[in-house]
Structure 1
């Protein structure tokens, strides 16, 4: 490959190694200006130690600079503290004997993970290690499809196996609780919660979806099982994860509801299941989702109380 071809390829990918769409090129040129200003502000306000508090949470909602994400994700999630209490766990797991069945399934999924990313092939071994280590330390989950996308995207950001293991462990065990177990109880429960919230707040959307005949579970399963990776544009997912690491599971509900509300007019115009499926499949390139700053701003206008989520979770469990 000559230098000219190499430069053309590099100019057409984002900082994570993903190909930039036309929509991203148009929106991100302005967004990068915002990022530069935010990065300077972060360095000014938090020049050394990151101190938890309302000010930090405000900054997180406006986006963590890429070069600070690993450090801040580890701190705000509690993953750093967990690591410090058991510093040798990951290395111990790597040296343990692996179950052949888990190894084989993970090996199949690794090449399917972000194949379009120009850098990711170099992360294949690291992702394999992380997924197999996680599967053997959490036997109630083992390995489940979806973990490869979550772990892979964390790895792209952190470029650190150990940090990726601890951050993945936090998300799967504390935020997306019981989404990836064999029964997927938590996943089914939270699909029920989101569906009930839409029924109460947006009955016309719910009626339209039911009329067309596309089950809510079909729409929502991938969103939740991948925590929106491979569903929304990469930078939007990372901005959501910034807040998810800080604020927890409530962000999952905010995100799902925000997508549905943004698509409301389009949903109401669909006439059959094919159109509706296509609409949800295209959220990855939808300019309203690509503009992560506007998406997050809208997301936080949605009034949602933890108590309401918990009440619906209890209702599902009864």
Structure 2
């Protein structure tokens, strides 16, 4: 046990010493109290000073805000004073009104700027929210990547531990396996080097073969181009040969034997056709939509002229089939790059592109947008309209179905897609026309609608889109009463065309009037079917590109352009019957589509839409008045005829007793 050590106690104090100690302790305690009270007072005063400082800072901020408000108010008062001074300094009421209007405009501009600033602030707030969302998403990605990285590190550490344990426990037994593995690695390296050498050899062989293929492809392209030019040259030579024969045929100074020889040469040329022409591709006789590139002619008395025009068309197509449309395709590709059909919107650029024509690669997309833009409200109200109308037409046939069935086999008979009665396109056309007869019971069906719907089917490749295209043309683009029983709007358009013809082409109009040629006999069908089967397919589709966008004014432009294109040829014909025969087929002899488009949209300017609308209203009113006069005359005739018949019956009225 540890011995206890006695504590040393201090000696006892005397009473005097104890008093002195007591007084010293009291003094010490009083001094401590004083120092603590002084410190307490000092800390409380510092806190009070800090509070006063904060209050003063707040007051200073409030004073600054007050000064800023007063400064703004002063500026406003000065501006108001300046405005009042300017207003009072104005010499008259006119100047004061101008000052007031200027101030109002300035206030409106400031209001617009304020609205724009608020809109910009809202956009910035939205963009900030989007950025915050993106930052949050990125932070989540970082967190996931960090967790994935940690997991991979753990896996790597475990594998390293396993490898270390294997190396430590394997010893000498694993040395042989490592040697074998090294040997296999060396062998694989040798194999890789051999394969690499072989790959280089094969790459060089592929390069040489690719070079040979490109060279042969270029040679083939050049040979095809050369053959096209040779074929075009041959067509030109044959066209000139037939032209010479035609001039010899019209030459009356030839002897009978010479005239017979010329006639025999003409018959041989017409019978021979184009058999001697080099045909590179039989599919060239029809375009991508199935239309004939070289049209057939029905004019019996002008076969030679038709053959000459056909050769010119083929020559022009052969010379311009390569590279002519590349700039246009490039412009359309640039315009449609990154846009869907819903992103297109009306613009001068789109208008100019449509007037130049839409390439086949983009025509279906552009037409679909044009049709949907014109029928958007109706389609939104009835999204399943076409399916409902098809079901209704199947359930209850209409009287017009018989006429539709008869016209199906008369539709685009020269087109490959409608040449057979069992063709799927014919059945699609039947369903579209029946659905439209239910869609518009006022019209039902009118001859000509079959051609409009057929063209829409060929381009849009969809029954429903073709149906809505027909609705857009009949109900939105062309005037009302265009396809009703009386065809008033169609007749009015023919009178409007005659007015424009006399204004734009006065010489041709006078020539036609001199020979009593009524252009309505030819042009009425142009307008009723919008030139379907009246123009070559490439010109027809280019016309429809602009027609679906700009409206019926395009039909007038192209009609006048066609007469302008062939004005000199028509003026040379001095017989009314021959002029009428020429007008029946001359539209199919147009070879230069770019020139025709330039005439339609440049030479025919100015062509304001307001003038067209006013002319339509004027002639429609006149037609209605003439129709009303005709009805009044018929009614008067029937009334007089009935009265006279009754009077005659009374004179001849005898009783039975007299016989």
TM-score normalised to the size of structure 1?
0.90
> 357, 376, 401: which is aligned to 1:63?
357
1:164 deviates by 0.5
Aligned to 2:38: none
1:92 deviates by 0.7
2:368 touches 2:460 (CA, 8 Å); kept in 1? no
> 79, 89, 110: which is aligned to 2:408?
110
> 282, 286, 310: which is aligned to 1:13?
286
1:231 touches 1:283 (CA, 8 Å); kept in 2? no
> 136, 143, 146: which is aligned to 2:445?
143
Aligned to 2:51: none
Aligned to 1:158: 460
1:69 deviates by 1.8
1:240 deviates by 0.6
Q: 1:102 to 1:252 in 2, by over 3 A?
A: same
Task: Output one character per residue of 1:210-249: Cα deviation in whole Å (capped at 9) or x when no partner.
Answer: 2222223212111101101111111111101100111112
1:191 touches 1:217 (CA, 8 Å); kept in 2? yes
Separation in 2, partners of 1:140, 1:53 = 35
Separation in 2, partners of 1:112, 1:204 = 37
Separation in 1, partners of 2:620, 2:283 = 50
1:72 deviates by 1.4
Indicate the larger mover: 178-187 or 277-286.
Answer: 277-286
Indicate the larger mover: 235-244 or 59-68.
Answer: 59-68
Per chain length, whose mean CA-contact separation is higher, i.e. which structure has more relative contact order (CA < 8 Å, sep 6+)? 1
Residue 26 of structure 1 pairs with residue 321 of structure 2: no
Q: Counterparts in 2 of 1:1-318, with a 5 A limit? A: 9-21=282-294, 22-29=311-318, 30-31=320-321, 33-47=323-337, 48-49=339-340, 50-77=344-371, 78-79=373-374, 81=376, 82-97=378-393, 98-120=396-418, 121-177=423-479, 178-286=481-589, 289-301=590-602, 302-303=604-605, 304-318=607-621
Separation in 1, partners of 2:405, 2:326 = 39
1:27 touches 1:290 (CA, 8 Å); kept in 2? yes
Q: 1:201 to 1:64 in 2, by over 3 A?
A: closer
3-state SS of the aligned residue for 1:83?
A: helix
1:206 deviates by 2.1
Task: Output one character per residue of 1:86-121: Cα deviation in whole Å (capped at 9) or x when no partner.
Answer: 221111110114544211111111111112212233
Q: 1:133 to 1:265 in 2, by over 3 A?
A: same
Q: 1:34 to 1:128 in 2, by over 3 A?
A: same
TM-score normalised to the size of structure 2?
0.45
1:84 deviates by 4.0
Indicate the larger mover: 186-195 or 84-93.
Answer: 84-93
Q: Gapped runs of 5+ residues in structure 1?
A: 1-6
Aligned to 1:4: none
3-state SS of the aligned residue for 2:399?
A: helix
Number of aligned positions between the proteins? 310
Task: Output one character per residue of 1:23-68: Cα deviation in whole Å (capped at 9) or x when no partner.
Answer: 4433234155233432233222211233431111121111112232
Q: 1:9 to 1:257 in 2, by over 3 A?
A: same
Indicate the larger mover: 10-19 or 178-187.
Answer: 10-19
Larger helix fraction of residues: 2
Separation in 2, partners of 1:138, 1:222 = 22
Separation in 1, partners of 2:498, 2:568 = 18
3-state SS of the aligned residue for 2:555?
A: helix
Indicate the larger mover: 148-157 or 265-274.
Answer: 265-274
1:9 deviates by 4.1
Indicate the larger mover: 171-180 or 144-153.
Answer: 171-180
1:284 touches 1:290 (CA, 8 Å); kept in 2? no
Q: 1:87 to 1:28 in 2, by over 3 A?
A: farther
2:375 touches 2:472 (CA, 8 Å); kept in 1? no
Q: Which has the larger radius of gyration?
A: 2
Aligned to 2:263: none
2:531 touches 2:540 (CA, 8 Å); kept in 1? yes
Separation in 1, partners of 2:591, 2:451 = 19
3-state SS of the aligned residue for 2:416?
A: coil
1:57 touches 1:246 (CA, 8 Å); kept in 2? yes
